[in-house]
Structures are given as structure tokens and as C-alpha cells.
Chains A and B, each alone.
Chain A
């Protein structure tokens, strides 16, 4: 059995079926013939958009941490919280590990992931040589994907708002809107990014 050169082959990451790699047209999607998983999708200027969106999300995250998130007012009794405050809520006795975990899920991991994406894709978008460890950083971003839970936190906030709405007046602070925008931007940027193209670009740039 003769095989084409290995660079011209792609194996489906879900079912291991071998495919011959081909350049696909813009706005086309290549799927696995056996299990229909997406192998490659191609969009013009996607890398530049991803870089722009990731940078925006990074700045918004800084804003979301710094500004007040929600204010509560029950008949003159007043309490304000920030995103950090939500994390410190668990910071009593047995809750400390959970406080650390929540900090990772909603702030630290999303920030690390955004930084890793910017680090790896930045030079590619500008068409220059990738930075050292760009591949490891992009791999890190991929590993962190399921663990960065900013969007889930936002749904949790919505549920919490409904729960206290009858009890008290809640004022929404600037950090709330920053966080909401951040979630939308992160989701769009994740939709745009095509792993296969990025890996290929990182490899080619490395070889030359």
C-alpha cells in the first residue's frame, strides 16, 4: 500500500479516518466523511479578526475586574460587590478551595487563554515569524478552552439577579456590561478561529 507524503494527509481527530489534505476555498468547511466532524474551515481575514477580538476581550476583562459589578440596596442598607467579591464569597473555612477554583474559572484561566491566543496568533496576523513557544501557547489555549467559564458565570449572574429582584433594588455597574460584552466577543472569536489553519501556519512559519 502506497501512501502520499505525510504532510498531505489529515486524520480526523474524532474517528481517526485518513483524508488527503487539500486547499479549500474561502468560506468552505471540510468535514470527515465518516463521522462528519469539522476538519477545517476557511474564512478570509479570520486571523486578524481573532487577534482583534481577543485583544478587546483582554482589555474588557481588566475593566470587568476593576469596576463595581453590582450594587444592592434594601431600604437604605447598601452593599456593593465586584467580580473579585464574588470569588471571595467562598473565602470562609471550607470554602477556600472553591474560592480559588472560581477565581481560576472566571478570571485567571480566561485571561491566560486570551493572552496565549494573542501571543501565538499576533505575529501570524501580521505575517511575521511566530514567537518562540507559539505552538505551546496555542496548545495551552486549546487545553484551557473547556475550563474558562466566563459565559457560564454570566448566566449564573442573570439567575442570581432574578432571585434577589423581589427582595431588593439591584443597580448594575459598569463591570457588568464589560463582562457581558467580553462573553459575546469571546464566543465570536472562538467561532472564527480555525485550529487547522493556525497549526499549519505556525508550522510553515517555523520551517522557513
Chain B
């Protein structure tokens, strides 16, 4: 596959050529076509409302992230005690038992990745608003990383599910999910939707002449 113009300085986009491209299968159509002839997907030259949706989902994700960290994730009942642990509390507990590797995985998946995603998506959206022409490759890379990594934050929700299903020994020991599991799952889903709403073609449009 070669470029439509041989020299890299002379690339044109589908939009500039008066065409509209399908994001799913790559097929191009004349502008104004609504549905892709190849894969039957909806066609949109640029998602005009992309940034609005990105911000809306992102804010929802951040809002849900607070109760996820304040309220307990796990409710543990044993013969001697009843304890509640938050996400961070669970990490500290794992470290106290010497499981540094697993503590690291949970910490990265439940705290570092969500917070990193909020910052990264916010930065990408702001840079598109400002029509930033710098570091396009790096920003595109960042977008790909965010899209790939976001789902992995769900680990902690699944840990809670497995633990609560497994440790049900009536009086001796039982583990039950706390309300934070719900808000955490919501936060992850909202941020995934935010990342999916972002149209990466907007990053590359900054150094293009405005074509209607």
C-alpha cells in the first residue's frame, strides 16, 4: 500500500479530497454518503460532537471515581472481627502480607491507570481544542495507549466478585462486595466510553487547511 502522493510532505486526507472514509474498514466514499458500502457502518468525515462527548463521559468518570475510593470495596467478616477495606486499604493489606508484586498490580490497575487516563484524555481534548500542532505522533501514541489500557482497570471489580463468591463460610469467614465496587465499575465504563468518543483524526487535523 503506498500513499496517494509519493512524497510525505504532500499527503492528503480523505476529507481534503472531498471524500469520507469509513473508520471500520478503510473504504472511502464520495462525501455525503451516509452508510459504508463495504461494511454497512455509519460514515462521518469527522465526529463533530466528539469533544463534547469526551468531556461529558470524562467528567462522569471522575465523579464516580471519588465514591469508589472513599467507600469500602470489600466487607470482611470473620469470627473475631468485621472489617471494611477501600481500594487503597486493600493494597496496603497486600503489602503487609509481603505480596508486593500483587499489591503493585492492584495499585497500578485501580489507581495509577484511572488517574493517568483522566489526565491523558483531558490533555488530548485540550490540545485538540487549541489546535496544537506539536508532538502529534506522541499524542496519537498516547491515545492508542489510553484506548488499549483502560479496560484493565476492571481487575479489581473481578477480584471482588471472585472473593465474594469464594469466601462464603457462614460464621467463620465471609467476604461481601461493598458499594465502592459499583462506583468503580461505573467509573471505568464511563472513562472507556470517553476514550472511545475521541476521534483521533482531530489530532491530525491541526496542521490541515480548513476544508468544509
- A159 in contact with B204 given A15-B13, A90-B164 (CB within 8 Å): no
The docked-state distance in angstroms from the alpha carbon of A61 to that of B185 is: 23
A74 to B159, CA, bound (A): 19
Cα distance, A40 to B29, chains bound together (Å) = 19
Does the CB pair A14–B201 fall under 8 Å?
yes
Chain B contacts for A105, CB-based, 8 A: 154
Q: Select which of B2, B24, B106, B151 is within 8 A of A20 by beta carbon.
A: B2
Shortest CB–CB separation between residue A152 and chain B, in angstroms?
Answer: 5
- A79-B28 CB under 8 A given contacts A74-B173, A94-B179: no
Do B162 and A196 touch across chains, with their CB atoms under 8 A apart? no
Give residues of chain B (19-72) contacting chain A, Cβ–Cβ below 8 Å.
19, 21-30, 37-41
Question: Which residues of B have CB within 8 Å of A178?
Answer: none
A159-B161 contact, Cβ under 8 Å, with A10-B26, A17-B12: no
What CA separation (Å) do A135 and B18 show in the bound complex?
26
Say yes or no: A153 contacts B158, CB within 8 Å.
yes
Chain B residues within 8 Å of chain A by Cβ, number: 73
Partner among A147, A153, A162 whose Cβ is within 8 Å of the Cβ of B99:
A162
In the complex, A132 has a CB within 8 A of chain B: no
Q: How far is the CA of A58 from the CA of B210 in the complex (A)?
A: 48
Q: Which residue of A lies closest to B136 (CB)?
A: A35
Asked if A11 contacts B157 (CB within 8 A), the reply is: no
Which chain A residues border B4 with CB–CB below 8 Å? 9, 17-20
Complex formed: what's the CA distance from A147 to B125 in Å?
Answer: 23
User: What residues on B are CB-neighbors of A163 within 8 Å?
Assistant: 94, 99, 102, 159, 163
Number of residues on chain A facing chain B (CB within 8 A): 76
**Cβ-based interface call for A24 (8 A):** yes
Q: Across the two chains, which residue of chain A brings its CB closest to B158? A: A156
Contacts A17-B13, A34-B8, A164-B166; is A159 near B3 (CB within 8 Å)?
Answer: no
CB-CB under 8 A for A35 and B165, given A142-B24, A156-B157: no
Complex contact B1–A20 (CB within 8 A):
yes
With a cutoff of 8 Å between Cβ atoms, the chain A residues found around residue B1 in the complex are: 10, 19-22, 24, 30, 39-40
Is the pair B204, A15 in contact by a Cβ cutoff of 8 Å? yes
Q: A15-B13, A152-B154 are in contact. Are A81 and B165 (CB under 8 A)?
A: yes
Q: Does A13 contact B (CB under 8 A)?
A: yes
16 example contacts (A-B, Cβ-Cβ < 8 A) are as follows A11-B28, A13-B21, A17-B14, A17-B204, A19-B2, A33-B8, A35-B204, A86-B162, A87-B161, A88-B165, A89-B164, A138-B39, A155-B152, A156-B157, A199-B27, A203-B37
| Across the A-B interface, the 8 shortest Cβ-Cβ residue pairs | A156-B158, A11-B21, A89-B164, A199-B25, A15-B204, A30-B1, A160-B162, A11-B14
